Structure 1
Amino acid sequence: MIDINALTVRFKTRTGHFDAVREASFHVGEGEVFGLVGESGSGKSTILRALTGLAPVAAGQMKIGTHVLGEKLGRSFRRDVQMVFQDPYGSLHPRFTVDQTLREPLTINGIDRQDERIVDALREVGLGPAYRFRYPHQLSGGQRQRVAIARALIVEPRVLLLDEPTSALDVSVQAEILNLLRRLHRERNLTMVLVSHNLAVVGFLCSRVAVMRNGEIVEQRDIAAIRAQQVEHEYTRSLLRATSGYQRKPVQAVS
Structure 2
Amino acid sequence: MIDVNGVSIGFETPRGFKTVVHGVSLQVPQGQAYGLVGESGSGKSTVLRALCGMTPLCGGQMQVAGQPVAKHMPKAQRRAVQMVFQDPYASLHPRLTVDQSLREPLLIHGMDRVAERVTQALADVGLDASFRYRYPHQLSGGQRQRVAIARALVLEPQVLLLDEPTSALDVSVQAEVLNLLKKLHHERGLTMLLVSHNLAVVAFLCSQLSVMQHGRIVESLGTDAVRAGAVQTDYARQLLTAADGYRRVQAVVQTV
Same fold, TM exceeding 0.5? yes
In structure 2, runs of 5+ residues without a counterpart are 247-256
TM-score, scaled to structure 2: 0.94
Q: Which residue of 1 aligns with 2:78?
A: 78
Work out whether residues 42 and 214 of structure 1, in 8 Å CA contact, stay in contact via their aligned partners in 2: yes
Q: Which residue of 2 aligns with 1:159?
A: 159
1:67 CA displacement: 1.5
Q: Distance in 2 between matches of 1:3 and 1:223?
A: 20
Work out whether residues 67 and 73 of structure 1, in 8 Å CA contact, stay in contact via their aligned partners in 2: no
Equivalent AA in structure 2 for residue 209 of structure 1? L
Work out whether residues 97 and 135 of structure 1, in 8 Å CA contact, stay in contact via their aligned partners in 2: yes
Q: Distance in 2 between matches of 1:72 and 1:176?
A: 36
Work out whether residues 84 and 152 of structure 1, in 8 Å CA contact, stay in contact via their aligned partners in 2: yes
In the TM superposition, 1:175-214 aligns within 5 A as 175-214=175-214
Equivalent AA in structure 2 for residue 13 of structure 1? T
Relative to structure 1, is the Cα distance of residues 122 and 71 closer, same or farther in structure 2, using a 3 angstrom cutoff?
closer
Relative to structure 1, is the Cα distance of residues 245 and 171 closer, same or farther in structure 2, using a 3 angstrom cutoff?
closer
In the TM superposition, 1:162-173 aligns within 5 A as 162-173=162-173
In structure 1, runs of 5+ residues without a counterpart are 247-255
Q: Distance in 1 between matches of 2:242 and 2:45?
A: 20
TM-score, scaled to structure 1: 0.95
Equivalent AA in structure 1 for residue 30 of structure 2? E
May I ask how many residue pairs the two structures share in their alignment? 246
Structure 1, residues 133-156: CA drift from partner, whole Å, max 9, x if none? 000011111000000000000000
Q: Which residue of 1 aligns with 2:150?
A: 150
Q: Distance in 1 between matches of 2:42 and 2:140?
A: 30
Q: Distance in 2 between matches of 1:245 and 1:118?
A: 37
Work out whether residues 53 and 72 of structure 2, in 8 Å CA contact, stay in contact via their aligned partners in 1: no
Q: Following TM superposition, where does structure 1 have runs of at least 4 consecutive aligned residues deviating by more than 3 angstroms? A: none
Q: Distance in 2 between matches of 1:231 and 1:167?
A: 23
SS at structure 1 position matched to 2:58:
strand
Q: Considering only CA atoms, is the larger Rg found in Structure 1 or Structure 2?
A: 1
| RMSD after superposition | 1.1
Work out whether residues 56 and 71 of structure 2, in 8 Å CA contact, stay in contact via their aligned partners in 1: no
Q: Distance in 1 between matches of 2:22 and 2:66?
A: 24
1:228 CA displacement: 1.2
Question: Percent of pairs identical after alignment?
Answer: 61
In the TM superposition, 1:221-236 aligns within 5 A as 221-236=221-236
Equivalent AA in structure 1 for residue 81 of structure 2? V
Equivalent AA in structure 2 for residue 53 of structure 1? G
Q: Which residue of 1 aligns with 2:253?
A: none
Q: Which residue of 1 aligns with 2:122?
A: 122
Work out whether residues 11 and 56 of structure 1, in 8 Å CA contact, stay in contact via their aligned partners in 2: no
1:81 CA displacement: 0.1
